Structure 1
């Protein structure tokens, strides 16, 4: 159920009004006798899906067979297996 309070009362008792809104109550704020705003509870962001990435999310959905390497030359294959000579991360 909504309860009307004046702007002056809302400024004076803002913490208490916010606590009431958090509890699920709707509070109407009025200028004189004219309602001008409504204080309502905010839906928690917990309803939003988890945006973190999951490692291995496509496991079992994508397969790459040996035929993916069929177009590679012997030089490209050996560089892949042994590392490129100019590669700074290559072990000496």
Structure 2
């Protein structure tokens, strides 16, 4: 979810509404304090495949490396 300033939201409202209708969500903030959320009406969410693609893109190039069990145990310490 993207955070945008109130002035920017006011200036680009038409564009933000188009993006929200496509499933994007925004937090509108003023002086760094979250005031409102702008998103699709009726609880619509982006299609599941789009979400899966976004997750795959976000983790592209990230490798755990090493022994997975050792990494798990290290996190428990």
When normalised by structure 2's length, the TM-score is 0.53
Q: How many residue pairs end up in the alignment?
A: 43
Whose Rg is larger? 1
Q: Distance in 2 between matches of 1:40 and 1:33?
A: 19
The residue number in structure 2 matching 1:27 is 26
Kindly report the root-mean-square deviation, in angstroms, between the aligned alpha carbons of the 2 structures. 1.4
Which 4+ stretches in 1 moved above 3 angstroms? none
By how many angstroms is 1:6 displaced?
Answer: 0.5
Which ranges of structure 1 fall in alignment gaps of 5 or more residues?
45-92
Q: Distance in 2 between matches of 1:3 and 1:18?
A: 14
The residue number in structure 2 matching 1:16 is 15
Which ranges of structure 2 fall in alignment gaps of 5 or more residues?
44-77
Bigger share in helix? 2
By how many angstroms is 1:40 displaced?
Answer: 1.0
Higher RCO (C-alpha under 8 Å, 6+ residues apart): 2
When normalised by structure 1's length, the TM-score is 0.44
Deviation per residue, 1:27-74 (Å, 9 max, x gap): 100011111100010128xxxxxxxxxxxxxxxxxxxxxxxxxxxxxx
